Amino acid sequence: MPAIFDDLDSLLPDLEYLYKDLHAHPELAFQEKRTASVVAGRLTGQGWEVTTGVGGTGVVGVLRNGDGPVVMLRADMDALPVREETGLPYASRVTALDDQGVRVPVMHACGHDVHVTCLLGACALFAARREEWRGTVVAVFQPAEESGLGARAMVADGLFERFPKPEVVLGQHVGPGPAGLLAKVPGLAMGATDNLSVRLFGRGGHGSKPESAVDPVLMAANLVTRLQTIVSRETAAQDSVVVTVGSLHAGTAAAVIPAEAELGINVRTFSPAAREKVMAAIERFAKAESLAAGAPREPEIVSRCELPATVNEPAATERVAAAHGALFGPGTVVELGPNTASEDFGVLGTEAGVPSVLWFFGGNDPKEFEAAFLADRLAEDIPQNHSPQYAPVVQPTLSVGVRAMTAAALAYLAPREPGVRA
Binding positions for Mn(2+) are 110, 112, 146, 173, 386
DSSP-derived 3-state class of residue 231: helix
**How far apart, in whole angstroms, are the C-alpha atoms of residue 295 and residue 80?**
36
The 8-class DSSP code of residue 417 comes to: P
- In angstroms, the CA 83 to CA 104 distance is 8
> What DSSP line would sit under 55-80, residue for residue?
TTTEEEEEEEESSS-EEEEEEE---B
Classify the C-alpha dihedral 305-309-313-317 as positive or negative.
Answer: positive
- Where do runs of H (alpha helix) occur along 73-198? 112-128, 150-156, 159-162
Distance (Å, rounded) from C-alpha 40 to C-alpha 10? Answer: 21
| Residue 27 is a catalytic residue | no
CA dist 410 and 402 (Å) reads: 12
Sign, Cα dihedral of 279, 284, 285, 286: positive
Residues in CB range of 369: below 8 A, 6 or more apart: 176, 177, 178, 362, 378, 382
- Cis peptide bond upstream of 396, omega within 30: yes
Catalytic pick among 27, 78, 145, 146: 146
Q: Mark out the alpha helices in 173-271 (DSSP H runs).
A: 216-227, 229-234
Ordered DSSP codes for 346-411: HHHHHHHTS-EEEEEEEEE-HHHHHHHHHTT-HHHHSPPTT-TT----HHHHHHHHHHHHHHHHHT
**How do 192-201 and 49-54 pair as beta strands?**
unpaired
* 32 assigned to active site: no
Residue partners of 276: CB distance under 8 A and separation at least 6 = none
Distance CA 120, CA 22 (A): 12
Give the residue numbers annotated as catalytic, written as ranges.
Answer: 76, 146
